[in-house]
Chain A
């Protein structure tokens, strides 16, 4: 479980995060949603330790990140898997080498053990025959699946995904969403996804945190988001005619 208390982050005069308090539960897909400029990416980068924050605390299963020593932080980071918006695959390595990279860096496994593990995770993301391809030869959806494989290869306790569906067609986006959901359930990890894809919200949002102007404006789940009266959430989530109709139908059916 990841707990965040009163998190503040500024860049010069700009106060981006204005005191966020929330938690992300183990074994669940937790979504952070909000408009562009609401502070989602800054929040995610604070969670990952890429940005230092001025006030507040972030704890991973009770361990307060800022209070950890450099070695403890390194150990914790080895338990984190991250899927970046643009996949961030190392373009000088093949797909198999990309997936093997965390194992080479953080384990003392033999080459054959690492290869076996790479085979397992690449099979898990349905990329059985892509080992020798370079990232530039893979489609956007394939790259995302490789990034997921790399993120889970070292059995992380925490999985972070920044806009995992951006740039993907709707069908592939659903495949990626389902894959993240399955992996979260299968390995019982704490998954945090930064997204503004409403399909993801409806599909896999077991917990949803809505940010607005650097503050948590609402939190709930994919079930409660249909019924909320919070104007900021409804204006954001149901901004399209399609989603307005979906919500109306849902509410009529569940009255």
Chain B
């Protein structure tokens, strides 16, 4: 029953995000702040992880190719496919569920604990619109982060491959360019936009509806991370079946 109640409350919250909008002059400032916190603030960690994971994918692929009949450019090809199809959109989103999701849950949860949300409601402000809508708009820029992760992942693979002695630059670039299907980019960005919506709303839900004190803020952040990750993984399966199956 509790799960059904939560699912219902989540969809009511989604409806309330777009109801009774906050004054634009105030909302503008909130959106810019959330772009800074959620997008710009995540670039460093995403770049770091994407670069090194791209490198590891290239090394692993290279080490597992023993058959001389398999062309050397497969390293670049496999790295590109892994990064574009799964690593950048899905696994970066799981990482973002930890980084951005926890931040959203704990910041909104702290506002709940310290009665700041009550203060907004007493003033007659739609607190859900005020708090969640700017995050939703900020995360429409999430594909920008994923594009950077794709680029740096492939670049990391190139660096590891060439400077680690696992293949030549020419082979790697040939692999990256080989048999490129533009729809794969569309598939990746469709997933990215869906995950952006999940990243904005599920952590907000757990922060907004939390009850209790500081300890519960911590628990809500953990629960939010778990459920955001679960939903991302399930939707990844569903979207992959629908779009590529």
Residues of chain A having any CB pair with chain B under 8 Å: 48-50, 70, 73-78, 80, 82, 84-86, 88-92, 102, 104-106, 160
Cβ proximity bits B18-38 to A, threshold 8 Å, 1 near / 0 not: 001011011000000100000
Complex CA–CA separation, A88 to B122 (angstroms): 12
Which of the residues A78, A84, A92, A106 comes within 8 Å of B119, measured between beta carbons?
A84
Q: How far is the CA of A75 from the CA of B123 in the complex (A)?
A: 9
* CA gap between A160 and B125 in the complex, in Å: 17
Say yes or no: B116 contacts A90, CB within 8 Å: yes
What is the interface of chain A mostly: helix, strand, loop, or mixed? mixed
CA distance A74 to B125 in the complex (A): 8
A130 to B123, CA, bound (A): 24
**Contacts A50-B118, A86-B115, A90-B116 given: A78-B23 contact, CB under 8 Å?**
no
Q: Which of B92-111 contact A (CB under 8 A)?
A: 110
Q: Taking the nearest CB of chain A, how far is it from the CB of B27, in angstroms? A: 11
Interfacial chain B residues near A106, Cβ < 8 Å? 123
- The reply to whether B124 and A84 form a contact with Cβ atoms under 8 Å apart is no
Q: Does B170 contact A (CB under 8 A)?
A: no
Q: Is the beta-carbon distance between A85 and B124 smaller than 8 angstroms?
A: no
Residues of B close to A102: CB separation below 8 A: 123
Contact residues on B (Cβ < 8 Å of other chain), bracket: 10 to 19
Pick the contact of B124 from A77, A89, A90 — CB < 8 Å? A77
Q: Are A105 and B23 in contact (CB under 8 A)?
A: yes
Tell me the complex Cα distance, A81–B124, Å.
Answer: 11
14 pairs from A and B in contact (CB 8 Å cutoff): A70-B20, A78-B123, A78-B124, A82-B119, A82-B123, A84-B115, A85-B115, A86-B114, A86-B115, A88-B115, A91-B110, A91-B114, A91-B116, A105-B125
Choose one: B22, B23, B33, B114; the contact of A88 (CB below 8 Å).
Answer: B114
Most buried by B among A70, A92, A160: A92
Contacts from B to A (Cβ < 8 Å): 20, 22-23, 25-26, 33, 110, 114-116, 118-119, 121-125
List the 5 shortest-distance A-B pairs measured between CB atoms, nearest first.
A77-B124, A88-B115, A88-B119, A74-B124, A84-B115
- Bound-state CA distance A82–B33 (Å) is 26
List the B side residues contacting A105 at CB < 8 Å.
22-23, 26, 123, 125
Complex interface: chain A residues within 8 A of B118 (CB): 50, 84, 88
B123 touches A88 (CB 8 A): no
Q: Which residue of B lies closest to A82 (CB)?
A: B122
User: How many Å lie between the Cα of A70 and that of B118 in the bound state?
Assistant: 18
Given the complex, which residues of A lie within 8 Å of B26, measured CB to CB? 104-105
Chain A residues positioned under 8 Å from B33 (CB to CB):
92
Which residues of chain A come closer than 8 Å to B124, judged between CB atoms?
73-78
Contact of B122 among A50, A92, A104 (CB under 8 A): A50
Expressed in whole angstroms, the minimum distance between the Cβ of A12 and any Cβ of chain B is: 14
Q: For the complex, what is the distance from the CA of A199 to the CA of B25, rounded to whole Å?
A: 43
Q: How far is the CB of A140 from chain B (nearest CB, A)?
A: 13
Given A75-B124, A104-B23: 8 more A-B contacts, CB < 8 Å = A50-B118, A70-B20, A78-B123, A78-B124, A85-B115, A86-B115, A88-B114, A106-B123
